[in-house]
Structure 1
Amino acid sequence: MVSPGRSRHAELPLGAVRPTGWLHDQLRLQADGLTGRLPEVWPDVGPDSGWLGGPGESWERGPYYLDGLLPLAYLLDDRELIEKTRPWVDWLIDSQRADGWFGPPDNDDWWPRMIAAKVLTQHHDATGDDRVLPMLSAYFRYQLENLPGRPLSGWGRVRGADNVLSVLWLHRHTAEDRLLELADLLLEQTEDWGRYLTEALVTGRALFFDHRTHGVNVAMGLKTDAVRYLRSGDERYRARTEASLAALERWHGQAHGWFSGDEFLGGREATAGAETCLVVELMYTLEQLSLIFGDGVWADRLESVAYNLLPASCDPRMLAHQYHQQANQVRVSVGQRPWTYSSDDANLFGLEPHFGCCTANLHQGWPKLVRSLCLQTLDDAGRPDGLALTGYPPCTVQTKINNVGVRLAVAGNYPFSHKINIEVTVEQPVDFALGLHIPGWCAEPKIMINNSAFSVDADGGYARISRQWQSGDRIEVDLDTRPRVERRDRQAVAVRYGALTMVAGVGENWIPVPDAPGLGEWEVHPRSSWNYGIDPAEPAQWPIEHRPVAPVPFAFDHAPVRIRVPGARIPGWGMDGEQAATVPEGPVLGCPVSNDVTLVPYGSARLRITEIPTVKDVRPGA
């Protein structure tokens, strides 16, 4: 039996990292909106839930909801939300039978219990509840005894890596050898995602259901080779993870930086959809890859999802969500779109468009991002040797290093601006290494420590500062940020600014749907022209405007970054049913480049052009 591999990073206890500034505002919107109020308006997570002992829904929706509600409650230290988690946790633990099985008696699927196990590990991390370790130990013993005769199948087979992560979590607490035996058994029964994604990936729109082409399963399956690496230390699993991402980009990559999945893998067209479950599960996968592999590129990739696709998946006040979002989305409406598998309402902002899985699952995105912002670094023997800041949105970190209390206060408006201040407070002077993430897009980072320049060597994507820290130490980080243009099909482009994808925003007219369930339902229609292209020739000359971050951070009218780009309207580019037609071949000639096109962050624009056609002015002297 192979001994467990070593992660490069480890999570701090839930609650050690807390949001401040705009990030706190965003989580507060979530708590006051759909997450905090969902049981009031959606019976699937109401008092009749099968995961509360009632006669209601008893498959994945209760655990999904708790997987986001619980970390949100503890990160905000919101006593009302914490109290809402208690009946769920108590019922989970009290439902356990003598043989170790737990959960609703009318459901015997392994899959939802994988989510429930994740919930219990987070609950223990936040509270130290002494019921959790023996409860999970008994359940995993049940799995070890019963999986040979009743192996993983269906959803559980393609999502088995999540189960293994909880098993390894318990092993870190108990060191029971049988847990490693179970981890290996689970991996034997889990889909070989690395092989599929690198050797057999569908190369266009998937036209029928297969667990391996289901977009959410792909987002979850991407962590499988990393978990195999944990058990074996075999570097080929790291290489296959990179190759899997490259294959997805080649055949299904979108201008926002990620792959389509509407419900199945949907190809490269800018109007293909991306499911909200895909977004939050992709974030969780990237958080795990950042823990396991430790390279800064995983933090880069996480940020590209978190600050773009995640906020775009909900309305600005987090009262409703979309099932499928589009890179080029110029109308949010009920209507038929040529997606792989979808109903006509999947594009609406509402309570339960299309399927209810996203209604239950969207809640984990922001809270787990916050927890991932600061990680414990581990040496080659797996011993803690410092901290790593993986990103810089405003937050505080409170922990102990060598039994000395340490507090980091991160201030600024990252990712909307790129000057960050970090203040250190310690109970007494203490030596440790602090890793500062240097994003791959930053060409000339600058770091000052107490007004003295620090030479930046970003090995592996982190600048590592080893010193004796004292209260009052201040770190200033300046991440050189310039607009970047990435080429797409048909000579179109995508525009990046730091971690942000910038889009041609479209004026929004929010139209309430009468008698809608939940907290509201909306179509969004354009109130300005959207069919513009840009001249991408000189991004260094584009004027950039920074504004204060508003209390609703991702509202279109208060977008905190705006970039003006020369461009022109393309009159022949119109609608194809309910969506924008295919991006025209570029550069489009004969359109006088006489308009400024305003680019805003993707997450601020619920109507947008992300894959932007290019135009060229061919007038003499132009």
Structure 2
Amino acid sequence: MDSPFRQNLVPPAFRELPMGSIKSAGWIDAQLQASLAALAGQQQEFYAMVQDGTFTGGNTTYSSLNESQPYYFQAAVAAVFTTNAPESLRNWVDDTLTYMINDQDQSGWFGPEPKILWPRWPVLIGAMHYAEAVPEKASQIVDFIYKFVVATHESLRSTDNEATGLERWGCVRTAEYTFILQWLFENHPREENIQKMLWEDMTFIRTKGNELAGDFEGKGWPAFFSEGIFNKDGQGERTMRSHGVNAAMALKEAALQWRVTNNQAEKDEAEHDWEIVYRYHGKEAGHFSADEHLAGLSPERGSETCLVVELMWSASLMYAIFGQNEYADRVERLAFNSLPACMTGDWWGRQYVQQEMQLTSQPFKTNPFNDVGEDSNVFGLETNYPCCTVNHSQGLPRFVSRSFLKREAANGNEAMLLQVYLIPSICQITLNEDNNVKVTAETNYPFENTVRYTFKANKEFRFGVRVPSWSGGVCFAKDAEELEEVRTNYDDHIFSFIVPAGDSKARIHLSSKIKVTQAAGAPEGVVHISKGALLYALPIEYDLKEIRKDPTEPKAVDNARLPKDPNSWKVAIDTDSLEFQDKTNKTVFTPLAFPVFDDGKAPSSIKADAYSMKDSWNPVDDGQWNKGFPPGPSKPVGEPIKVELQPYGAVKLRVCPLATIKSNEKQGSMGIYQRILSYTRFILPSSTSSQK
């Protein structure tokens, strides 16, 4: 249904900052730099899908969608403007954008045959971000985008379904195009007839996609996510909407539509879609399971790397639009757990799917997945399928680029600059047209919970810090003052304060504690263990075995990871023994060195006593994967074994969730949600301390 034209979209809770306003720093910059020295930034040098891609006149692609170069271009633009990217990547971005602009014909189309819409959308989003970062080129780029939008408007109304440009993938990914249209509408408005065209197509693209998809009587994603239809057990369904990456992209669709319609129904739908997906398929690390298709709660089932990065983008948009804290929590959970878990520590290998309970990483003899190959959990260049190779690289730079947002003065709220993701970073922005502001955030978050701010500003302004839902409270200090516990002045999970004109400093500290949570779908007493934004898992020692090596890039190697001991991981944890280990420098702040997310390299851990379960817990068949969850609580057998849980994202073979033991203190129910351990009041660190 068309929504009556208005001059303005419903304003979001927060506005994004132009690409290039935020730069990575500290450990996150080291991580980003390392990724760009590897697969995320070197594919233009050796990988045919990019080097010889079809959008710049080449001949190599992995499907008729021709999406390999568009994926990589979109990610590369974000990388180039969030860190000091390699010169070869910068040059490739410039040359690729120039080629595509020059390749545009009189009708507005560009790129290879066939003329389908979907692969052009990542190109346009990358071009949009380039225009934000390089204002002197904005006019040319915006013209390029508008020409294609006009061509799309005409093609969508063709009576020949093939000529619409909407094939089966584009039909279910129309939210990407709605995002593009809304960016044009708000940032580069034109005469009223063009604005009306943009407005019309924001909803028409969804309607047309649902019509051509031919499912659910044209009702599309709202029908798929409805209680009576939604696949709750992850068994058997293989449709375009049960495809995990498509669903991850679609989770922002209703929110974007709400900005057009201002109907409560779209807002309710947006919240419902996330809730139902995570209720039946959610994982504690932040993602949901889909090995290619929705896969349920069982921990041996997989989740695609493309799904992780698309979820990060969708959840970031959800937070910006609605301002609800759980979406920003979700993004951090994904960035600090799911994303590093599917990458090797040096970023030269990626998985197609990760498993929560990942007991080995090798070609499976018995495949536990729905619709992916037996080598899908192997870390390498393009195991199973190449899309995750070209698309994984959007995760980190886009995360950085959305780490600050701004709130406009409206509805009684004061204008505010907000740090959403508490990573080390530098934000430079002009507020209210004449207040040049620079904010430097120094921290090792999420491995510590203290953030140290340095401000430079022409005028005073309000600055906010998002308080994650897991935090028990906030401690705050200005300049060299001692930290003090703050019990007021933070609503909607935001702590804010006035930054004076000139140079100033401030510190914020968030309280956290070890949390033991009943694993969804598991026997009672099978748990997840986390602290702050980090999930912890039991690492499994392994040997590397080379499977294959790329002939043109010796660092691009597919390696199997084979557990050294088939029984060492079969343990039950005594949750009363959990002891957090902080390995960061508590005397003088020191940025963490790369690598952070690699086996044995993470700067935090949780020690625990454990008891062997080797006689009562056995994986299926060949011992390569465990069917279902570990057994429920067992009686302690023998002497305790000392184990050290590591951050989930750092361990490439792992046990997660964890079995627990029975004891006199733990008889009876743990409760369906969570039991909090080690609760204390805030520890107030000194000005140089990163103690938690």
The partner residue of 1:72 within 75, 79, 83 is 79
The residue aligned with 2:19 is 14
The residue aligned with 1:530 is 569
Q: Confirm whether residue 121 of structure 1 aligns to residue 121 of structure 2.
A: no
Q: Partner of 1:329: helix, strand, or coil?
A: coil
Please give the per-residue CA displacement for 1:185-212, whole angstroms capped at 9, x wherever unaligned: 1132344323321332111124242011
Tell whether the 8 Å contact from 1:593 to 1:615 is kept in structure 2 after alignment.
Answer: no
Residue 521 of structure 1 deviates from its aligned partner by 1.4
1:610-621 superposed matches below 5 A: 610-617=656-663
Q: Aligned in 2, Cα 1:384/1:83: closer, same or farther, shift over 3 Å?
A: farther
Mapped to 1, the partners of 2:445 and 2:322 lie a distance apart of 24
The partner residue of 2:240 within 197, 208, 211 is 211
What TM-score, normalized by structure 1, do the two folds share?
0.94
The residue aligned with 2:690 is none
1:144-163 superposed matches below 5 A: 144-149=153-158, 150=161, 151=164, 152-163=166-177
Tell whether the 8 Å contact from 1:111 to 1:155 is kept in structure 2 after alignment.
Answer: yes
Q: Partner of 1:375: helix, strand, or coil?
A: strand
1:84-103 superposed matches below 5 A: 84-103=92-111
Mapped to 2, the partners of 1:240 and 1:473 lie a distance apart of 43
Larger mean Cα displacement after TM superposition, 296-305 or 406-415: 296-305
The residue aligned with 1:143 is 152
Tell whether the 8 Å contact from 1:144 to 1:182 is kept in structure 2 after alignment.
Answer: yes
User: What amino acid maps onto 2:635 in structure 1?
Assistant: L
Q: Aligned in 2, Cα 1:52/1:441: closer, same or farther, shift over 3 Å?
A: same
The partner residue of 1:490 within 518, 523, 528 is 523
State the identity as a percent: 25
Q: Partner of 2:15: helix, strand, or coil?
A: strand
What TM-score, normalized by structure 2, do the two folds share?
0.85
The residue aligned with 2:682 is none
Unmatched 5+ stretches in structure 1: none
Q: Partner of 1:75: helix, strand, or coil?
A: coil
The residue aligned with 1:49 is 53
Q: Partner of 2:502: helix, strand, or coil?
A: coil
The residue aligned with 1:575 is 619
Residue 35 of structure 1 deviates from its aligned partner by 1.9
User: What amino acid maps onto 2:123 in structure 1?
Assistant: A
Mapped to 1, the partners of 2:415 and 2:360 lie a distance apart of 50
Q: Aligned in 2, Cα 1:180/1:193: closer, same or farther, shift over 3 Å?
A: same
Tell whether the 8 Å contact from 1:591 to 1:616 is kept in structure 2 after alignment.
Answer: no
Tell whether the 8 Å contact from 1:422 to 1:474 is kept in structure 2 after alignment.
Answer: yes
Mapped to 1, the partners of 2:414 and 2:178 lie a distance apart of 22
Residue 563 of structure 1 deviates from its aligned partner by 0.6
The partner residue of 2:491 within 439, 455, 459 is 459
Please give the per-residue CA displacement for 1:270-327, whole angstroms capped at 9, x wherever unaligned: 1110100000100110111121112222211110111000011110000010001000
The residue aligned with 1:170 is 184
Larger mean Cα displacement after TM superposition, 564-573 or 280-289: 564-573
Mapped to 2, the partners of 1:531 and 1:613 lie a distance apart of 9
Q: Confirm whether residue 438 of structure 1 aligns to residue 457 of structure 2.
A: no
Residue 268 of structure 1 deviates from its aligned partner by 0.8
Tell whether the 8 Å contact from 1:573 to 1:581 is kept in structure 2 after alignment.
Answer: no
Tell whether the 8 Å contact from 1:337 to 1:579 is kept in structure 2 after alignment.
Answer: no
Q: Confirm whether residue 412 of structure 1 aligns to residue 433 of structure 2.
A: no
Q: Partner of 1:18: helix, strand, or coil?
A: strand
Tell whether the 8 Å contact from 2:474 to 2:487 is kept in structure 1 after alignment.
Answer: no
1:132-531 superposed matches below 5 A: 132-149=141-158, 150=161, 151=164, 152-175=166-189, 176-191=195-210, 192-199=220-227, 200-335=229-364, 336-380=366-410, 385-402=415-432, 403-426=434-457, 428=458, 430-450=459-479, 451=481, 453=484, 456-465=488-497, 467-488=498-519, 489-491=522-524, 492-516=526-550, 518=553, 519-528=556-565, 529-531=568-570
Please give the per-residue CA displacement for 1:2-31, whole angstroms capped at 9, x wherever unaligned: 432111212212121111111011011111
Q: Aligned in 2, Cα 1:515/1:18: closer, same or farther, shift over 3 Å?
A: closer
Q: Confirm whether residue 546 of structure 1 aligns to residue 583 of structure 2.
A: yes
Q: Partner of 2:557: helix, strand, or coil?
A: coil
Q: Partner of 1:231: helix, strand, or coil?
A: helix
How many residue pairs match? The answer is 613
Tell whether the 8 Å contact from 1:280 to 1:364 is kept in structure 2 after alignment.
Answer: yes
Please give the per-residue CA displacement for 1:204-247, whole angstroms capped at 9, x wherever unaligned: 12424201100111111100111111112223323222222221
Q: Partner of 1:421: helix, strand, or coil?
A: strand
Residue 556 of structure 1 deviates from its aligned partner by 1.4
User: What amino acid maps onto 2:469 in structure 1?
Assistant: G
Unmatched 5+ stretches in structure 2: 190-194, 211-219, 586-591, 668-692
Q: Partner of 1:376: helix, strand, or coil?
A: strand
Mapped to 1, the partners of 2:234 and 2:328 lie a distance apart of 29
The residue aligned with 2:213 is none
Please give the per-residue CA displacement for 1:552-587, whole angstroms capped at 9, x wherever unaligned: 111112111111123212113233232134333311
Residue 516 of structure 1 deviates from its aligned partner by 4.5
Mapped to 2, the partners of 1:236 and 1:380 lie a distance apart of 24
Q: Aligned in 2, Cα 1:383/1:476: closer, same or farther, shift over 3 Å?
A: closer
Residue 121 of structure 1 deviates from its aligned partner by 0.6
Mapped to 2, the partners of 1:253 and 1:543 lie a distance apart of 26
Tell whether the 8 Å contact from 1:270 to 1:328 is kept in structure 2 after alignment.
Answer: yes
Residue 53 of structure 1 deviates from its aligned partner by 1.4
Q: Partner of 2:537: helix, strand, or coil?
A: strand
Q: Partner of 1:341: helix, strand, or coil?
A: coil
Q: Aligned in 2, Cα 1:537/1:249: closer, same or farther, shift over 3 Å?
A: farther
Cα RMSD of the aligned pairs, angstroms, is 2.2
User: What amino acid maps onto 1:51 in structure 2?
Assistant: F
User: What amino acid maps onto 1:126 in structure 2?
Assistant: A
The residue aligned with 2:688 is none
Residue 617 of structure 1 deviates from its aligned partner by 4.8
Please give the per-residue CA displacement for 1:147-195, whole angstroms capped at 9, x wherever unaligned: 1224534111111011010111111133233211121211323443233
Residue 384 of structure 1 deviates from its aligned partner by 9.3
Q: Partner of 2:476: helix, strand, or coil?
A: strand
Larger mean Cα displacement after TM superposition, 482-491 or 579-588: 579-588
Mapped to 2, the partners of 1:179 and 1:131 lie a distance apart of 19
Tell whether the 8 Å contact from 1:25 to 1:553 is kept in structure 2 after alignment.
Answer: no
Tell whether the 8 Å contact from 1:256 to 1:610 is kept in structure 2 after alignment.
Answer: no
Tell whether the 8 Å contact from 2:283 to 2:289 is kept in structure 1 after alignment.
Answer: yes
Residue 41 of structure 1 deviates from its aligned partner by 3.0
Residue 37 of structure 1 deviates from its aligned partner by 1.7
Q: Aligned in 2, Cα 1:612/1:54: closer, same or farther, shift over 3 Å?
A: same
Mapped to 2, the partners of 1:187 and 1:380 lie a distance apart of 30
The residue aligned with 1:23 is 28
Please give the per-residue CA displacement for 1:238-273, whole angstroms capped at 9, x wherever unaligned: 322222222122221234343101010111111110
Q: Aligned in 2, Cα 1:145/1:513: closer, same or farther, shift over 3 Å?
A: same
Tell whether the 8 Å contact from 1:587 to 1:616 is kept in structure 2 after alignment.
Answer: yes
Q: Partner of 1:317: helix, strand, or coil?
A: coil
